[in-house]
Amino acid sequence: MKIFEKIYAGGRWIVPASTLTTDVIDPSTEEIIGRVPLCNAEDIDSAVKAARDAFPAWADRPLPDRVDYLRRIAAAMKARSKEIGACIAQEMGMPLKLAKMIQAGLPIGTMEGYADIAEKFPFEETVGNSLIIREPAGVCGFITPWNYPLHQIVGKVAPALAAGCTMVLKPSEVAPLNAFLLAEIIHEVGLPAGVFNLVSGEGPIVGEALASHPEVDMVSFTGSTRAGIRVAELAAPTVKRVTQELGGKSANIILDDADFENAVAKGVQDCYLNSGQTCSALTRMLVPEERMEEAAAVARAAAERFTPGPAMERGTRLGPLVSHAQRERVRYYIKKGIEEGARLITGGPEAPENLPAGYFVKPTVFADVKPEMTIAREEIFGPVLSIMSYQDEDHAVSLANNSEYGLSGSVWSSDVERAKKVARRLRTGQVYINGGRHNPLAPFGGYKKSGNGREFGTHGLEEFLEVKAMQL
């Protein structure tokens, strides 16, 4: 069991002002595996003050020094990658093999990647008679989710460090242990005191105190659209910069000339990654109306190959949902889909057989889903696929764009140029063509209620910079 009784502020592990704590639960077993503090507004004040005091020196630090710290942090993360992967598998439920590769591997690559990006980034340029300077935005508040916990943390911490910002991090209280491991690593490599600070606690208390704090210059939030709206409201009176990566209900358009069986099977796989707990998951599959039965059959076979089981158990392809509350939420949506007339192809709201403990849900597929149905409109955040039919290409694009979200999407066609033409019509921040590989250097973020701003790559670094013009 990992028990953390202190928070990290001003380069030291300190006893928080609050005496409250929260247990961390293994969603595979429902057993307690850790404990962290539940901080209060006083703890936020301490952490923000430390970040504010550290900002001038860190902002003035030569870029090669900042880059060196990024590389040292990445190396220390790599040395503990097995521990990090196992920790995240236990606290949020991704199968261990995947957790080592994704939950531990991606953050290491991101930390290393920002060292490379920063070295090449044009922090200064001349435009006419003006010298344009990009300077650090200031003290940043980070509020991060539980589904890809360390990846989302590093996606903010790494570019902020590279830019010259200081920061206060509040990870999700559901999966916070990985953040404490990162704080241990940062302490070990000797990052200057106050540059990185860690508090833990619940959103309505700690998150709100951080978002509204007058000494915080910028808030970067990843989570639900509802919570993102609240963060923006709290930040508005101080006119601080806010970037948000929020919900999604992404469409996967399979055109009539696509490699159909491969596209449908791959679509199921994309939907079920991380037990469907992925904001950019392709949860709406759009197929030609005359091929609905074929799609349903292929999807059913693909879904039934996803074996639910404990995250630490060999052979598990579908881990549990992160919590009891999340499992009940997903069950509600499955029942809602049945009530509203969608055709259940496989799965359902009942717990999988032979799994008496753990927050498991069967891999579920619905066919004949109509645009007005709840499961076609609302983000479920579980292993639930909705198959919808379209009449022609224009209808497919219309259905795909018929959403308040715009985070991701996908198009399949044997003609890449046709697929790209359709992709240009989608109102989303990212589109995969024929199952294109994830690119960690590409900007990630959404249109509409999926948020604003971008993370990762050069675009992610720019979010942490202010622009100054000197007229010469």
Active site residue 279: yes
Chain centroid to CA 442? 15
Contacts of 421 (CB under 8 A, 6+ apart): none
d(CA 187, CA 127): 41
Distances (CA, A) of 27 to 22, 24, 30, 336: 15, 9, 5, 24
Pick the catalytic residue: 271, 279, 379, 455?
A: 279
Q: In whole angstroms, what is the distance from residue 414 CA to residue 409 CA?
A: 17
Contact by Cβ (8 Å): 167, 197: yes
> CA 66: distance to chain centroid?
25
Q: How far apart are CA 218 and CA 377, in angstroms?
A: 31
Burial letters 298-309, b for 16+ CB under 10 A, else e: bbbebbeebebb
Nearest to 4 by CA among 131, 182, 152: 182
> Are 392 and 437 spatial neighbours (Cβ–Cβ below 8 Å)?
no
Rounded Cα distance between 428 and 50, Å, is 38
CA nearest to 3, candidates 146, 176, 194: 176
Tell me how far apart the alpha carbons of residues 157 and 169 are, in angstroms, rounded to a whole number: 8
Q: Within a 10 A sphere around the Cβ of 254, how many other Cβ atoms?
A: 26
Residue 230 CA to residue 173 CA, distance in Å, equals 18
CB-CB contact of 141 with 241 (8 Å): no
Instruction: Verify whether residue 184 is a known catalytic residue.
Output: no
- Catalytic-labelled residue, pool 245, 379, 455, 463: 245
CB-CB contact of 211 with 141 (8 Å):
yes
DSSP 206-237: IIHHHHH-TT--EEEEES-HHHHHHHHHHHGG
Strands (E), 261-363: 284-288, 343-346
What's the token pair of residue 149?
A: 């916990």
Burial of 22 (C-beta count, 10 Å sphere; 0-12/13-18/19+) = middle
Catalogue the active-site residues.
Answer: 245, 279
